[in-house]
Amino acid sequence: MSTGIANTAARLTRPLSRGGSRRAGTRIPLIVTAVLLVAMFTVGSLRYDGFFSTQVVLNLLIDNAFLLVVAVGATFVILTGGIDLSVGSMVALSTMITASLVEHQGWSLGAVIPLVLAIGASGGALMGWIIHTFEIQPFIVTLAGMFLARGLCYTISTESITIDDPTTVSIAQARLYGSGGLFVSVSVIIALVVLLIAFVVLHHTRFGRGVYALGGNETSARLMGLPVGSTKVAVYAISGLCSALGGVLMTFYMLSGYALHAMGMELDAIAATVIGGTLLTGGSGFVLGTALGVLVLGMIQTVINFQGTLSSWWTRIVIGGLLLVFIVLQRLMTGRRAETD
Amino acid sequence: MTNRLDPPAGTARGPMLKRLAGHRLLWPSLVLIALLLGNLAFTHDFFAVRIRDGHLYGSLIDILQYGAPLTLVALGMTMVIATRGIDLSVGSTVAIAGALACEHIATSSDPDGAGTVLTAVAVALGVAVVLGLCNGLLVARLGVQPIVATLILMVAGRGVAQLITDGQIITVTSDKYHMIGGGHWLTFPFAVLLAAALVALTALVTRRSALGLLIESVGGNPAAGRLAGIRAAGLLTLVYVFSALCAAVAGLMISSNVNAADGNNAGLWIELDAILAVVIGGTALTGGRFSLGGTVLGAMIIQTLSTTVYTLGVPPETTLVFKAFVVIAVCLVQSPAFRARMPRRRKTGHPRSDTTAGAAGRQQEARA
Amino acid sequence: MTTPSTPADPAGTAPAGAAAGAGADQGAGRGTGAGPDTGTRQPVLEATGIRKQFPGVLALDQVALRLYPGEVHALMGENGAGKSTLIKVLTGVHPADDGTLLVDGAPRSFADPLQAQQAGISTVYQEVNLCPNISVAENILIGREPRRFGLVHWSALKRRAAELLTELDLDLDVSTPLGSHSLAVQQLVAIVRAVDLSAKVLVLDEPTSSLDREEVAQLFTLVRRLRDRGVAILFVTHFLDQVFELCDRVTILRNGRLEGEYPIGELTPVTLVQRMIGGELATLDELSEKAQEEAAERVAGEPFLTARELGRAGSVEPYDLDVHAGEVIGLAGLLGSGRTEAARLLFGADTADSGRVTVEGRTVSLRTPRHAIARKIAFCSENRKAEGIFGELTIRENIILALQAARGWTRPLSRTKQDALTRRWIEALDIRPADPEAQLRNLSGGNQQKVLLARWLLTEPRLLILDEPTRGIDVGAKAEIQKLVARLAADGTAVLFISAELEEVLRLSHRVAVLRDHRMVATLVNDDGVTPDRILATIATGADS
Residue from B357, B367, B354 nearest C23 by CA: B357
User: What is the C-alpha to C-alpha distance for residues A303 and A48, in angstroms, rounded to an integer?
Assistant: 9
Ordered DSSP codes for A90-113: HHHHHHHHHHIIIIIS---HHHHH
pLDDT at B10 over 70: no
Q: What is the pLDDT of residue B352?
A: 36
Contact between C532 and C506 (Cβ < 8 Å): yes
**pLDDT more than 90, % of chain B:** 42
Tell me the CA distances in angstroms from C323 to B18, C304, C354, C358, one per residue in order: 46, 6, 19, 10
Q: What is the mean pLDDT of chain B?
A: 83
Q: How confident is the model at residue B125 (pLDDT cuts 50, 70, 90)?
A: very high
Q: Do the Cβ atoms of C130 and A224 come within 8 Å?
A: yes
Q: What is the pLDDT of residue C443?
A: 82
Report the 10 Å Cβ neighbour count for A50.
10
**pLDDT more than 70, % of chain C:** 86
Helix, coil or strand: residue A293: helix
CATH topology of domain A26-335: ABC transporter involved in vitamin B12 uptake, BtuC (1.10.3470)
E strand map for A226-329: 256-257
Give the distance from residue A221's alpha carbon to the nearest chain C alpha carbon, in angstroms: 7
pLDDT at A183 over 50: yes
Average pLDDT of C376-385? 90
Task: Enter the ipTM.
Answer: 0.80
Q: What is the pLDDT of residue C17?
A: 38
Give the distance from residue B177's alpha carbon to the nearest chain A alpha carbon, in angstroms: 27
Q: Do the Cβ atoms of B365 and C472 come within 8 Å?
A: yes
Nearest CB to A140: which of B148, B155, B331? B331
Comparison of pLDDT for C33 and C353, the residue scoring more:
C353
Tell whether A132 lies on the interface with B, counting CB pairs under 8 A: no
Give the distance from residue A136's alpha carbon to the nearest chain B alpha carbon, in angstroms: 7
- What contacts A157, CB < 8 A, 6 or more positions away? A96, A100, A257, A259
pLDDT at C36 over 90: no
Tell whether B84 lies on the interface with A, counting CB pairs under 8 A: no
User: What is the C-alpha to C-alpha distance for residues B83 and B225, in angstroms, rounded to an integer?
Assistant: 11
Listed by number, the residues of chain B in 3-32 with a beta carbon closer than 8 Å to a beta carbon of chain C are 3-7, 10, 13-14, 17
CATH topology of domain B2-306: ABC transporter involved in vitamin B12 uptake, BtuC (1.10.3470)
User: How does pLDDT run across C214-267, given as a tens digit for each residue?
Assistant: 778 888 888 898 898 889 999 988 777 888 888 999 999 888 888 889 999 888
Tell whether B293 lies on the interface with C, counting CB pairs under 8 A: no
Where in chain B are the domains?
Answer: 2-306
Q: How confident is the model at residue C53 (pLDDT cuts 50, 70, 90)?
A: confident
Average pLDDT of B58-62? 87
Tell whether A78 lies on the interface with B, counting CB pairs under 8 A: no
Tell me the CA distances in angstroms from A291 to A52, A248, A250, A312, B353, one per residue in order: 21, 19, 17, 22, 63
Whole-prediction pTM value? 0.81
Q: What is the pLDDT of residue A79?
A: 95
User: How does pLDDT run across C493-533, given as a tens digit for each residue?
Assistant: 999 999 877 878 888 888 999 998 888 998 888 877 777 77
Where in chain A are the domains?
Answer: 26-335
Q: What is the pLDDT of residue B359?
A: 37
User: Residues of C with CB below 8 A from B225's CB?
Assistant: 390, 405
**pLDDT more than 90, % of chain A:** 46
Tell whether A270 lies on the interface with B, counting CB pairs under 8 A: yes
User: Residues of C with CB below 8 A from A213's CB?
Assistant: 131, 134, 138, 142
Segment holding C262, helix H or strand E = strand C257-263
User: Residues of C with CB below 8 A from A11's CB?
Assistant: 214
Tell whether B281 lies on the interface with A, counting CB pairs under 8 A: no
Q: Do the Cβ atoms of A323 and B152 come within 8 Å?
A: yes
Most confident range, picked from B248-252, C50-54, C137-141, C251-255:
B248-252
In terms of C-beta density within 10 A (0-12 exposed, 13-18 middle, 19 or more buried), how is residue C409 classed?
Answer: buried
**pLDDT more than 70, % of chain A:** 90
pLDDT at A5 over 50: no
Q: Do the Cβ atoms of B7 and C257 come within 8 Å?
A: no
Query: SS3 breakdown of chain C: % helix, strand, coil, rounded to 5?
Result: 35, 25, 40
Q: What is the pLDDT of residue B100?
A: 95
User: How does pLDDT run across A216-257, given as a tens digit for each residue?
Assistant: 888 888 888 788 999 999 999 999 999 999 999 999 999 999
Q: How confident is the model at residue C3 (pLDDT cuts 50, 70, 90)?
A: very low
Q: What is the pLDDT of residue C347?
A: 94
Which site among B168, B319, B320, B326 would you substitute to test the A interface, given the most A Cβ atoms closer than 10 Å to its Cβ? B320
Nearest CB to A1: which of C193, C214, C221? C221
Q: Do the Cβ atoms of A337 and C179 come within 8 Å?
A: yes
User: What is the C-alpha to C-alpha distance for residues B128 and B72, in angstroms, rounded to an integer?
Assistant: 14
User: What is the C-alpha to C-alpha distance for residues B359 and C254, in angstroms, rounded to an integer?
Assistant: 9
User: What is the C-alpha to C-alpha distance for residues A253 and A264, in angstroms, rounded to an integer?
Assistant: 17
Rg of the Cα trace of chain C?
25
pLDDT at C143 over 70: yes
With the C-alpha atoms ordered C268, C269, C275, C279, is the resulting torsion angle positive or negative? negative
Tell me the CA distances in angstroms from C435 to B40, B220, C473, C480, one per residue in order: 43, 21, 20, 19
User: Residues of C with CB below 8 A from A337's CB?
Assistant: 179
Listed by number, the residues of chain A in 295-324 with a beta carbon closer than 8 Å to a beta carbon of chain B are 311-321, 323-324
Q: What is the pLDDT of residue B23?
A: 65
Q: What is the pLDDT of residue B205?
A: 93
Q: How confident is the model at residue B136 (pLDDT cuts 50, 70, 90)?
A: very high
Over the range C71-81, which residues count as b (16 or more CB within 10 Å of their CB) and which as e? Answer: bbbbbbbbbbb
User: Residues of A with CB below 8 A from B167's CB?
Assistant: 311-313
Tell whether C445 lies on the interface with A, counting CB pairs under 8 A: no
Report the neighbours of A using a cutoff of 3 or more CB pairs below 8 angstroms: B, C
Nearest CB to A147: which of B279, B324, B336? B324
User: How does pLDDT run across C160-195, given as a tens digit for each residue?
Assistant: 999 888 887 788 888 888 888 877 788 888 888 888
Average pLDDT of C324-340? 86
User: What is the C-alpha to C-alpha distance for residues B9 and B11, in angstroms, rounded to an integer?
Assistant: 5
Q: Do the Cβ atoms of C57 and B362 come within 8 Å?
A: yes
Contact between C245 and C223 (Cβ < 8 Å): no
Nearest CB to B367: which of C80, C387, C390? C80
Contact between C100 and C8 (Cβ < 8 Å): yes
Q: What is the pLDDT of residue B342?
A: 67
Strand partners, B262: B169
Tell whether B162 lies on the interface with A, counting CB pairs under 8 A: yes
Over the range B240-260, which residues count as b (16 or more CB within 10 Å of their CB) and which as e? Answer: bbbbbbbbbbbbbbbbbbbbb
Average pLDDT of C386-400? 91
Give the distance from residue B72's alpha carbon to the nearest chain C alpha carbon, in angstroms: 23
Over the range B301-338, which residues count as b (16 or more CB within 10 Å of their CB) and which as e? Answer: bbbbbbbbbeeeeebebbbbbbbbebbbebbbebbeeb
Comparison of pLDDT for C376 and C473, the residue scoring more:
C376
Average pLDDT of C381-393? 88
Tell whether B347 lies on the interface with C, counting CB pairs under 8 A: yes
Inter-chain contacts counted by CB atoms under 8 A, chains A and C:
131
